[in-house]
Each structure stands twice: as structure tokens, then as C-alpha cells.
Amino acid sequence: MSRAHHVPVLLDRVVSLLAPALDHDGAVLVDCTLGLGGHSEAVLERCSQARVIGIDRDPQALARSRERLAPYGDRFVGVQAVYDEIADVVADQGLPRVAGVAGVLFDLGVSSMQLDLPERGFAYAVDAPLDMRMGDAGPTAADVLNTYSAAELARVLKEYGEERMARRIADAVVREREREPFTSSARLVELLYDVIPAPARRTGGHPAKRTFQALRMEVNDELRVLQRAIPAAIDAIEVGGRVVVESYHSLEDRLVKRAFAAATRLDVPDDLPFVPEGAEPSYRLVTRGAEQATPEEIEENPRAASVRLRALERTSHRPSTSTGKGAV
């Protein structure tokens, strides 16, 4: 497996965005997408006063990251949970649910470990069972393929995979599963090669890329989990605390952008000549729009090509509007 899969995307930039918030005694970072612990290790190494709570739904990832981060002793604790449970995780560690942590990090998408283990079914390059669960419960990708209607499958492929051939693929899946249910990635990849015309296969990477991404996002309910998690993370940070998010899908980035915009919006009439005291937003944007990787980083780490990085900081104790109706 290529080294690129093991290099956290924009690692130095992520740590530099978090470091000002973690530069005090007792500072706590919640790494909501712990994975193999690359980001957490860098923070523990470079931010000497920080502790890290690492969240991952994958017990295998937790076991490996705990081993990797064992040298940092009680400065690191790993928790098996889904990251929209951040408030409960923080409270279980004895911290306030609101304004209780200094930083929150999300590095969205599939982790390198999950891609590296063929039996997990995330990678289309090798034949494996169609699982794709980031945890150890719930329906698998095979269940989705074998039980969803053609219309439901097409919606998933179009919305989460931005697949132009969504209905054509869905119809073929429904037709083929009548002959034999789908169980392996190789059979699905073979179907995609048959269904997607050769001219369409010449652009956009591997013809299975979009379908596998869509199935993974559906199996793990990724967008709905993120929709709950981002406002919870915004509420969780203390004054001076920061939320940093790396997204790799346009729908993820749009959701983060909207949540950040809601939290930083100035809620006064546009024609008011001044901002009344107490009406200032409780948060500010740290990044100007979404930052992207440099060509040099993309060459070293191809996964960085689609990253969009955003960061937000709490500036006051006033109640957040991030969880208000319509925030995301």
C-alpha cells in the first residue's frame, strides 16, 4: 500500500490551526475521527500542554491508535463512539458539555486503515466482502445493494457519489441480484465496467470510485451524523477554542460551511449603522473560505486533491446559534 495513504492530509496546517487553542494548561482536543491517530500524535508531540480524547466507531482503529499513542500516557484516551455523540463523550470524561474543550478536529471520509484491510470492503482494487461499515453494527453495503429499490439506489448513487449513470447502474444491480445476490466487491466492479460506457470511463478516475463512495456514505449514515456533529462541536468549544474540519466531498463541505456561517452570522438589520453591544457573533472564521492543498502536497499525498479545510473560533461566552433551526 502506498505511503500516501498513511500521511494525514494537511497535517502541519491542521496542527498550526489548533495550536493557539491548545496553548494552556488543561487544554483538551477532541479528535472526532481518530483513525490510526496521526493527527492526535502530532498534536500530543507539538502541543505539550494538550490532552486528546480520540473518538472512533471502529474498534480495530481504536486498538491500533491506543497502541501507537501509549507513550503519551494519560494525555490520551480513546473512546468507541460515533462522533455525533461528542457531547456525551466529553461529559463522560468529566468536562462540561458546552464550552468544555479547547479544540475539535474532524478529518472526514474513510481512514487509511479501513482502505488497507481488504476484508472491510472499502477498496474496489481487491475482491472482498461488501461490508463498508466503519463500526461493527448495522447493515452492510451488500444489504443496501440487495434490498434497496432501483429508485432508492439511484438516489444514493447520484446524491452521495455524484454518479451520472446512477439510474442505469441501479437498474443493472436490481436485475443482476435477481440472478444472485451481491456479496463481493469484484462482482460489483465487473457490473460497473459493463454498465458504464467506455467514453465515460476515461475521465473521473476508476469507474467504481463514485459508487463505492456512495455506498460507504449510505451504510455509515455519514451526512446525517455530520449534520448533528458539527453544531455539537461548535457548542463544545471554550472561548478561544477552535473547530477544524477537513472535508473531501462537496456535500460535506457545504454542510460545514453553512453551520459555520450560522454561528458567525451578525444578527442585526443590514441597514443598522452600528453593531449594538452584545450583538456581535460569538464565533469568527479562522480560515478565509475553504483552504486547499498545494500541488506539492497533492503530488506527495493524492488523497489531498479533494480536501477542503475550514476552521472556526469561539470569541465569547454568549449562547451559540449554531444549533438553531435551519443552521445546517
What CATH number did the domain enclosing 107 receive? 3.40.50.150
CA separation for the pair 322, 225 (Å, rounded) = 16
308-314 and 101-107 beta bridge pairing: unpaired
pLDDT tens digits, residue range 13-35? 999 999 999 999 999 999 999 99
Nearest alpha carbon to residue 243 among 12, 31, 77, 8: 31
All residues at 6 or more sequence positions from 82 whose CB lies less than 8 Å from its CB, including other chains:
55, 57, 135, 225
Residues 105 and 8 reside in one and the same domain: yes
Residues 93 and 235 reside in one and the same domain: yes
Residues 244 and 208 reside in one and the same domain: no
Q: Which three cell numbers stand for residue 211?
A: 459508487
CA separation for the pair 160, 158 (Å, rounded) = 6
CB 106 within 8 A of CB 245: yes
Q: Which three cell numbers stand for residue 106?
A: 474532524
CA separation for the pair 221, 207 (Å, rounded) = 23
The answer to whether position 74 is within a domain reads yes
Domain hosting residue 9, numbered range: 3-113+222-314
Number of domains in the chain: 2
CB 58 within 8 A of CB 120: no
Residues 194 and 145 reside in one and the same domain: yes
All residues at 6 or more sequence positions from 273 whose CB lies less than 8 Å from its CB, including other chains:
none
The pLDDT, as a whole number, for residue 136 is 75
CA separation for the pair 320, 303 (Å, rounded) = 33
pLDDT tens digits, residue range 33-55? 999 999 999 999 999 999 999 99
The pLDDT, as a whole number, for residue 209 is 86
CA distance readout (Å), 52 to 39, 111, 128, 175: 10, 19, 34, 49
The low-confidence residues of the chain, meaning pLDDT below 50, are 1-5, 113-116, 118, 120-121, 320-328
The pLDDT, as a whole number, for residue 70 is 97
The pLDDT, as a whole number, for residue 206 is 76
Looking at 169, 191, 219, which one is the last position of a domain?
219
Strand partners, 29: 52, 103
The answer to whether position 122 is within a domain reads no
Residues 142 and 278 reside in one and the same domain: no
CA separation for the pair 116, 5 (Å, rounded) = 9
Binding residues for S-adenosyl-L-methionine, by number, are 37-39, 56, 83, 107, 114
Residues 232 and 192 reside in one and the same domain: no
The pLDDT, as a whole number, for residue 127 is 77
Binding residues, by number, are 37-39, 56, 83, 107, 114
What's the DSSP call for residue 133? -
The pLDDT, as a whole number, for residue 124 is 61
CB 56 within 8 A of CB 47: no
Residues 94 and 226 reside in one and the same domain: yes
The pLDDT, as a whole number, for residue 138 is 83
The pLDDT, as a whole number, for residue 172 is 97
Looking at 186, 219, 252, which one is the last position of a domain?
219
Residues 229 and 205 reside in one and the same domain: no
CA separation for the pair 218, 117 (Å, rounded) = 20
CA separation for the pair 270, 158 (Å, rounded) = 38
CA separation for the pair 201, 178 (Å, rounded) = 26
Looking at 163, 197, 219, which one is the last position of a domain?
219
The answer to whether position 252 is within a domain reads yes
Residues 11 and 107 reside in one and the same domain: yes
